[in-house]
């Protein structure tokens, strides 16, 4: 879209590197990847080879009318030459994870060292927690959507009803199971919690 190209090429895209510098870098990268000489790209773009050389070296500023010809010569789109990032896909994707009567679907993107959210379904057949109860670093947050959740924290046992939420430090031995039917919860925990509940 010409207006978007013009906006980015004029330096209004908020890019720290700058469009001019990025296009010069992309020109060199793409030309090298394809094994083209300066002469070959210049001929394909119908521009003078000395002009292309000065564009790559930064001795001549990039003009808007250079972009389509150079992109076509290198076999890419103008956006690919400019290096426009692909649009963000907001969907959280991931296969469900199953273990010990639980199925867990990720509802957040995996963050480096951060919390991750899951929708969890706990089978009615899971009536007891693991033995021994797991202990690991961090905190857990759980919100019961449907069913009744039995939660063990150390020597104490709690029944969590639909619409109730719990938060607890996972340095306390803990575990959970269904009371009298399947349970659906939303849970948040860090990497240590994911390992404890999904990988053993």
Annotate 148-195 with DSSP letters as a single string. Answer: -EEEEETTEEEEEPTT-EEEEETTS-EEEEESSS-EEEEEEE-HHHHI
The pLDDT of residue 127 is 92
Q: What is the DSSP string of 19-68?
A: HHHHHHHHHHHHHHHHT--HHHHHHHHTS-HHHHHHHHHTSS---TTHHH
Q: How confident is the model at residue 21 (pLDDT cuts 50, 70, 90)?
A: confident
Q: How confident is the model at residue 116 (pLDDT cuts 50, 70, 90)?
A: confident
Average model confidence (pLDDT) across the chain? 83
Q: Which residues, listed in sequence order, are joined to residue 117 by a DSSP beta bridge?
A: 188
Find the mean pLDDT for residues 97-114: 80
Of the options 3.40.50.2000, 3.40.50.300, 1.10.260.40, 1.10.287.130, the CATH number for the domain spanning 2-82: 1.10.260.40
Higher per-residue pLDDT: 178 or 194: 178
Residue 10, pLDDT above cutoff 80 = no
Residue 187, pLDDT above cutoff 80 = yes
Give tens-digit pLDDT for 48-72: 999 888 888 888 887 888 889 998 9
Q: Which pTM value belongs to this model?
A: 0.57
Distance CA 153, CA 175 (A): 7
Q: How confident is the model at residue 5 (pLDDT cuts 50, 70, 90)?
A: very low
What are the residue boundaries of the structural domains of the chain, listed by start? 2-82, 97-199
Find the mean pLDDT for residues 41-46: 91
Number of other residues whose CB lies within 10 A of the CB of residue 56: 17
The pLDDT of residue 63 is 80
Distance CA 181, CA 130 (A): 18
Higher per-residue pLDDT: 183 or 14: 183
Range with the largest mean pLDDT of 11-25, 41-55, 76-90, 155-169:
155-169
Q: Which residues, listed in sequence order, are joined to residue 158 by a DSSP beta bridge?
A: 151
For domain 97-199, is the CATH number 2.60.120.10? Answer: yes
Give tens-digit pLDDT for 134-177: 898 888 999 999 999 999 999 999 999 999 999 999 999 999 99
């Amino acid at each position: 879209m010409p207006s978007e190209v013009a906006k980015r090429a004029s330096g209004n895209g908020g890019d720290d590197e700058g469009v001019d510098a990025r296009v010069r870098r992309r020109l060199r990268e793409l030309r090298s990847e394809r094994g083209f000489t300066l002469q070959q790209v210049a001929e394909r773009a119908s521009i003078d080879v000395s002009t292309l050389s000065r564009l790559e070296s930064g001795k001549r500023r990039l003009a808007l009318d250079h972009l389509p010809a150079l992109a076509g010569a290198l076999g890419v789109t103008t956006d690919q030459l400019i290096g426009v990032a692909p649009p963000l896909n907001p969907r959280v994707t991931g296969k469900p994870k199953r273990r010990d009567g639980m199925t867990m679907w990720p509802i957040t993107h995996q963050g480096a060292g951060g919390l991750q959210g899951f929708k969890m379904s706990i089978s009615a057949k899971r009536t007891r927690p693991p033995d021994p109860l797991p202990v690991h670093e961090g905190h857990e947050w759980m919100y019961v959507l449907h069913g009744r959740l039995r939660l063990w924290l150390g020597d104490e046992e709690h029944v969590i009803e639909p619409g109730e939420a719990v938060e607890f430090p996972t340095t306390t031995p803990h575990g959970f199971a269904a009371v009298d039917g399947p349970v659906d919860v939303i849970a948040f925990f860090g990497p240590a919690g994911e390992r404890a509940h999904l990988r053993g």
